[in-house]
Structure 1
Amino acid sequence: MALVLRKPNAYSKIDKEDPEERNRRRAQFLIYKVMEQADSMSRRRPSYLRIRIRKLKVKIGKRLTKLRKSMLLSISAAKVSVCKQVCSQFKTCRRLFGGGDNHSSANLVNTLPSPLFV
C-alpha cells in the first residue's frame, strides 16, 4: 500500500497469482509459439538454390577429404624416402670414417689379451 500512496496512478495486485496457474498459462504460450513456428516452416518449401548449395557443399567436402588423405599419403611416402636416404648417407659416412666395418671390430675383440684372473 505504500506504493499506492507514493504514486497516484500506480495500482497494486490485491491477490497473488497461483503458481500452477502461471505455469499452465506459460506452457500454453510456449505450445502456441511452437505450433506457430511449425506452421510457418511447413508453408515454406526449400528453394532450388538452397538444395544446389547444399549439394555443392557436400561435393566440396568430399573432394577436400580426398585431397587431405592423398596429401597425407604422399607426405608419409616422402618422409620414408628421406629417412632411407639419410640412413644410407649415415652408413656411408660411418664406413668412410672407420666406424662401420663390423669385421674389423670382431677381429679386435679376438685379439684382446685373455683375462689374468679366471
Structure 2
Amino acid sequence: MGLLRRSNGYSKVDKEDPEVLIHRRAQFLIYKVMEQADCRRKPSFIRIRLCRLKVKIGRRLKKLRKSALVSISAARIHVYKRLTSQLKTWRRFFNPGSHHGAIATLPRPLFT
C-alpha cells in the first residue's frame, strides 16, 4: 500500500496469464495484417483481366482433363471387350475338350 500512494512509485506487476498474452499477440498480428491490407493499392484493370484470364484457362484445362479421362476409360473398356471376345474365340479354337465351335464328328456306321 505504501508503494501505491507515492506519486512516482511503481508497483510490481504480476505475471500475466499465458493465454491472455497469446490472445493479445494474436490481436496485434491481426491488426497489423488489416493495416497492411488497407495500405495496399487497388488492383489495376490489367491485373483484374489477368486474373479472369487465369480462371478461364483453369476451367478449360479442367474440362479438357475430364474429357481426356473419360475418353481414356472408354478406350480401355473397348479394348478390354475386344480382348475378351478374342480370348473366347481362341479358347474355342484351341480347346480340344469343348466341341462348341469344332466340326461335328460323324457317328460310326452301324454295319461294317
Residue 87 of structure 2 aligns with an amino acid whose one-letter code is: F
Mapping of residues 36-55 of structure 1, within 5 Å: 36-41=35-40, 44-55=41-52
Map 1:36-115 → 2, pairs under 5 A: 36-41=35-40, 44-98=41-95, 101=98
Under a length normalisation based on structure 2, what TM-score does the superposition of the two structures give?
A: 0.57
Q: Please, which runs of 5 or more residues in structure 2 have no aligned partner?
A: 1-9, 102-112
Summarize deviations over 1:37-56 as a string: whole Å, max 9, x none. 24413xx2111121011101
Contact 1:94 1:100 in 2 (8 A): no
Taking structure 1 as the reference length, the TM-score comes to 0.54
- What is the number of equivalent residue pairs in this alignment? 85
Query: Unpaired segments of 5 or more residues in structure 1?
Result: 1-14, 105-118
Match for 2:74: what amino acid? A
Identity %: 59
Matched residue, 1:110:
none
The root-mean-square deviation of aligned C-alpha atoms, in Å, is 3.4
